[in-house]
């Protein structure tokens, strides 16, 4: 008789290079159509990770080879102690800020440049904008979001930051067309973007019951090189932050180094081939 027992693949953490910190699970000033986070109807203003949890995580991971700390959310720049968190993390490694760009203007960038200059590490921006066409972009991310993001890019470039543009391919369009059109738009804004300035991710539609398919072959997954700290504990990746299926422990003193690839999110990751959240620094060498 044919053996029909289904075995979920298990992923082993190879090295903790990427430390994601979810500064807030729910607070964001945009509610994008494709966002994988479930937003509450009422805003919970206390939904911010305490800075002491972050300091404890940095201390508990002292022996790990952390190459980059990623500040994520919802929108991480809504955290009331964002500047302190940033300075604290910059003492340890490069820091990447995942942002929709709405809190970034020239004054803020001037300040962030000063903060970076005080550190031996770098601040990297992963800025979300989903379409080169303003109407199509704002249809996904909300009215005005396109102009705010382009303005943020302009301000960052003015102070010599080199932002990475994160595109969720909501309309499932040709990747080269997306990149070339964005290059054209950014050139007008003074940003001579290269191919490595773009990451294009597949759109995960959480409203549909996506098929789980463990037959995909991936190159690199976020859960192989990182873990995320949230106010509730440690999880295997940003997709599964605060989801019991991705739980790895309550802190970094003792956390799981393996996880089952059992969710439909995992199928999206595998289809994407490369890490969805972590930066491939080799592309910038």
Nearer to ligand SF4, 20 or 182 (CB): 20
x-marked contacts with ligand SF4 along 142-181 as a string, rule CB under 6 A: ----------------------------------------
Total number of residues that touch ligand SF4 (CB under 6 A): 15
Contact with ligand SF4 (CB under 6 A) among 239, 247, 248, 255: 239
21-80: which residues touch ligand SF4 (CB under 6 A)? none
Contact with ligand SF4 (CB under 6 A) among 234, 237, 241, 279: 237
Q: Which stretch binds ligand SF4 (CB under 6 A): 96-104, 137-145, 201-209, 218-226?
A: 218-226
In whole angstroms, give the CA distance from residue 7 to residue 44.
39
Is residue 16 within the footprint of ligand SF4 (CB under 6 A)?
no
Is residue 225 within the footprint of ligand SF4 (CB under 6 A)?
no
Is residue 90 within the footprint of ligand SF4 (CB under 6 A)?
no
Other C-beta atoms closer than 10 Å to the C-beta of 193 total: 21
Nearer to ligand SF4, 165 or 248 (CB): 248
Contact with ligand SF4 (CB under 6 A) among 85, 124, 156, 261: 261
In this structure, the strands spanning 258-260 and 123-128 are unpaired
Q: Which stretch binds ligand SF4 (CB under 6 A): 98-106, 132-140, 152-160, 219-227?
A: 219-227
Contact with ligand SF4 (CB under 6 A) among 222, 234, 241, 248: 222
Binding stretches for ligand SF4 (CB under 6 A): 11, 221-223, 236-237, 239-240, 246, 259, 261, 263, 265-266, 269
């Amino acid at each position: 008789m044919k053996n029909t027992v289904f075995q979920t693949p298990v992923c082993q953490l190879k090295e903790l290079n990427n430390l994601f910190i979810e500064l807030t699970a729910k607070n964001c000033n945009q509610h994008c159509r494709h966002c994988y986070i479930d937003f509450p109807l009422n805003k919970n203003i206390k939904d911010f990770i305490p800075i002491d949890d972050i300091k404890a995580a940095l201390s508990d991971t002292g022996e790990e080879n952390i190459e980059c700390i990623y500040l994520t959310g919802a929108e991480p720049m809504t955290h009331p102690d964002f500047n302190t968190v940033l300075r604290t993390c910059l003492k340890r490694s490069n820091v990447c800020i995942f942002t929709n760009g709405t809190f970034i203007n020239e004054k803020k960038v001037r300040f962030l440049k000063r903060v970076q200059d005080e550190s031996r590490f770098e601040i990297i921006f992963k800025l979300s904008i989903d379409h080169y066409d303003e109407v199509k972009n704002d249809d996904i991310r909300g009215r005005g979001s396109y102009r705010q993001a382009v303005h943020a890019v302009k301000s960052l470039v003015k102070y010599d930051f080199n932002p990475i543009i994160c595109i969720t391919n909501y309309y499932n369009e040709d990747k080269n067309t997306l990149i070339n059109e964005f290059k054209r738009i950014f050139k007008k804004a003074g940003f001579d973007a290269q191919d490595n300035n773009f990451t294009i991710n597949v759109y995960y539609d959480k409203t549909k019951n996506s098929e789980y398919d463990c037959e995909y072959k991936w190159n690199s997954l976020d859960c192989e090189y990182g873990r995320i700290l949230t106010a509730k504990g440690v999880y295997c990746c940003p997709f599964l932050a605060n989801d019991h299926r991705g739980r790895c422990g309550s802190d970094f003193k003792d956390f799981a180094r393996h996880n089952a690839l059992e969710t439909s999110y995992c199928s999206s990751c595998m289809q994407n081939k490369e890490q969805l959240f972590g930066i491939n620094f080799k592309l910038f060498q």
